[in-house]
Amino acid sequence: MKIKKSIYDELDVPRVINAASTKTRIGGSLIRPEAVEAMSRAAESFVRLSDLQVRAGELISEVTGAEAGYVGSGGAASMTLAAAAAIAGDDLGIMERLPDTEGIPNEIVMPKTHRNGYDHALRAAGATIVDAGNNDNYLGTGSNSTEIWELADAISENTVAIAYMQKLYSAPPLEEVIEVAHDHDIPVIVDAAAEVPPRENLSKFIDMGADMVIFSGGKAIRGPQTTGILAGKQEYIRSAALQHLDMHVAPEVWEPPTELFDKDDLAGVPRQGIGRPLKVGKEELVGLIKALELFIDEDQVQLEAEWNARTDIIEDGLTDIKGVSIERRPGGKLMVAPEVFVTIDPEEAQLDAVELVGSLRKENPRIFVGSDDLLDDAFSINSLCLTDDEAAYIVDRIQHYLC
C-alpha cells in the first residue's frame, strides 16, 4: 500500500503519519484548507496588525463571551502574555522592566498538581510560581489532591494571579478557585489549550468567571500552529496588547485602535515589551480568524462519524493478531477523538511495544502512535489526525512487524 507524496518528500525530510493526535512536535493539526487560502490572500497586501488584532478580538469575544480577546503566537505564548498582564497591569514602568520583577509582586499561585512543563511560559514573563498543596494526600492514588484552603493559604500580598490547568479531572473545582481568587482581588489564568472540542468549552470557563483563558489555535481548531487565543477581561487584554504589539511608533501620529487601549490614558509609548518576541503575522491572524469561524460552524456529529469509521478500520485490522489485544476507547472525554488502545504480549508477539513503536517511527514516512503507555507494553492509535487511507496504511505496517 502506497501513501500520497508530500512537500516533505520533495524536501527530503521524512513526513509523519500522525496517529498520536494533536502534538506540536509533529506539526499539531492540519490547518483547514480554507484558512490556508485566506492566509495566502493575507500575504497579498499590508494591514496594521493592531487593526487585525481588534478584528480577531471581536470574533474571540463573540465565541467565548469574554469582554475581549487577543492572539498570541501559540497557546504557550498566550500564557506568557497573560502572566505579563497579571504582573504589569497598566504600569508602563513594569512593562518596560519585565522579566525583571525585583521589588514588585510577581507570584502566581498554582495547585502543585497542576504544575507541568508549560508553566515555564508563565515564568518567562518574570513570574515566580508558588506551589499550593500536595501531590497526593493519600499516597499512591494519583495527582489531584490540592485542596481549596491550601490555595487560599498560598496567596500573599505578592500574588498577582492563580494559574489553573484545565482538564476534565482537574481539582479543586475551577468555580471554587475563582471565588477564592476574586475574594483576594486577583485574576485566574486558565490554561485550556487543548480543551476544545467540545465547542462549549470556548465559553464555559469565561462563564464561570475566569479572568483569562487560553486556547491553542493550532490544535483541534485547526488554525495556524503559531496562534493561541487569549480571551478575558478588557483590562488584561489591554495590558497584553501593550506588551505584545510592535511599538516602534512615531508618537506624534500614533493612533492605536481604541478597542485595545486609549492612547490618552498612557503617559507615553511603552516600547517593545516582553511579548514582542511572540509576534503574530498578518497571515497567521487571518488564518486563525478563518479557522475559528469554521470551527464554530463545524458539524460535530458528522465529524465524529468520520472518526468512528476510521477507528473501525484500525480496530478491524488489528483484531486476531497473535500477541495483540485491543480496546476501543471513545473520544470526547480525555481525548477528543476515539482511539484504539493496543497492548502487546512480548512473548507471544516476539516483539515488545517499545521495539514496535520505535520501528514505526524510523520508517519513511514516520508513523507516530500515542506513546504514553509504552512502559505497560501498550500504545494508542488516535483517529483525529488521520485519513482513512493512512489508518489502513498503519494497520498494514503493524501487521508487517507482527504477523
| Positions in the binding site for ligand PLP (CB under 6 A) | 24, 74-76, 118, 165, 191, 193-194, 216, 218, 228
The nearer residue to ligand PLP, 186 or 278, going by C-beta atoms, is: 278
- For residue 336, the minimal CB distance to ligand PLP (Å) is 11
CA distance to 258, 265, 312, per residue, from 67 (Å): 14, 19, 43
The nearer residue to ligand PLP, 64 or 152, going by C-beta atoms, is: 64
- For residue 25, the minimal CB distance to ligand PLP (Å) is 9
- For residue 116, the minimal CB distance to ligand PLP (Å) is 7
Q: Strands 159-165 and 128-132, how do they pair?
A: unpaired
Secondary structure class of 248 (helix, strand, coil):
coil
- Cα–chain center distance at 141: 27
Say how many Å lie between the first and final Cα of the chain, rounded. Answer: 16
The nearer residue to ligand PLP, 73 or 106, going by C-beta atoms, is: 73
- For residue 133, the minimal CB distance to ligand PLP (Å) is 19
Cα–Cα distance between 307 and 315 in angstroms, integer? 12
Secondary structure class of 188 (helix, strand, coil):
strand
The nearer residue to ligand PLP, 24 or 234, going by C-beta atoms, is: 24
The nearer residue to ligand PLP, 125 or 342, going by C-beta atoms, is: 125
- For residue 21, the minimal CB distance to ligand PLP (Å) is 10
**Location of C-alpha cell 498582564:** 85
The nearer residue to ligand PLP, 219 or 290, going by C-beta atoms, is: 219
Closest listed residue to residue 397, CA positions, set 343, 361, 348? 361
The nearer residue to ligand PLP, 262 or 372, going by C-beta atoms, is: 372
C-beta neighbour count of 142 within 10 angstroms: 10
Cβ atoms of 237 and 213 within 8 Å: the answer is no
- For residue 357, the minimal CB distance to ligand PLP (Å) is 21
Q: Indicate the DSSP class of residue 27.
A: T
Cα–Cα distance between 337 and 239 in angstroms, integer? 36
Determine which helix (DSSP H) or strand (DSSP E) holds 34, and give its type and residue range. Answer: helix 33-42
CA distance to 74, 117, 145, 165, per residue, from 369 (Å): 24, 21, 31, 25
The nearer residue to ligand PLP, 97 or 115, going by C-beta atoms, is: 115
- For residue 277, the minimal CB distance to ligand PLP (Å) is 14
Residue with CB nearest ligand PLP?
75
- For residue 191, the minimal CB distance to ligand PLP (Å) is 5
Length of the chain: 403
